[in-house]
Amino acid sequence: MAECWGYEECAYDALLEGNERGARASQLRALFAELRPAVVRVLGPAVARSAGISENFLEGEYPVAGQQALNREVAEAIGFDFAAGRIDTTTHPFCTGLGPRDCRLTTRYNERNFAQSLYGVLHEAGHGLYDQGLPGEDYGTPCGTYVSLGIHESQSRFWENQVGRSPAFWEYWHPHACRHLPALKRFTPEQISQAVNRVAPSFIRVEADQVTYDLHIILRFEIEVKLMGGEVKPADVPALWNAEFEKMFGLKVPNDAQGCLQDIHWSMGGLGYFPTYTLGNLNASQLRHRADQELPGLESDLAQGRYAPLLAWLRDKIHSQGQRYLPHELMARATGEPTQAKYHLEYLRKKFAV
Which one from 17, 124, 153, 224 is the annotated catalytic residue?
124
Q: Are strands 95-99 and 102-107 parallel, antiparallel or unpaired?
A: antiparallel
Return the C-alpha torsion angle 345, 148, 212, 231, nearest 10.
-110
CA–CA separation, 180 vs 70, rounded Å?
A: 6
CA–CA separation, 287 vs 335, rounded Å?
A: 6
Confirm if 275 and 143 have CB atoms less than 8 A apart: no
DSSP structure string for 148-192: -HHHHHHHHHIIIIIITTSHHHHHHHHHHHHHH-GGGGGS-HHHH
What order do you get walking across the sheet with 95-99 strand by strand? 85-89, 102-107, 95-99
**171 belongs to the catalytic site:** no
Quote the crossing angle between the two packed helices 308-317 and 275-294, to the nearest 10°: 120
Please work out, in degrees rounded to the nearest 5, the angle formed at the alpha carbon of residue 46 by the alpha carbons of 44 and 51. 95
DSSP state of 209: -
CA–CA separation, 187 vs 199, rounded Å?
A: 19
Confirm if 272 and 18 have CB atoms less than 8 A apart: yes
How many Cβ atoms sit within 10 Å of the Cβ of residue 7?
Answer: 17
What are the φ and ψ backbone dihedral angles of 54, each rounded to 5 degrees? -75, 160
- Annotated catalytic sites, by residue? 124
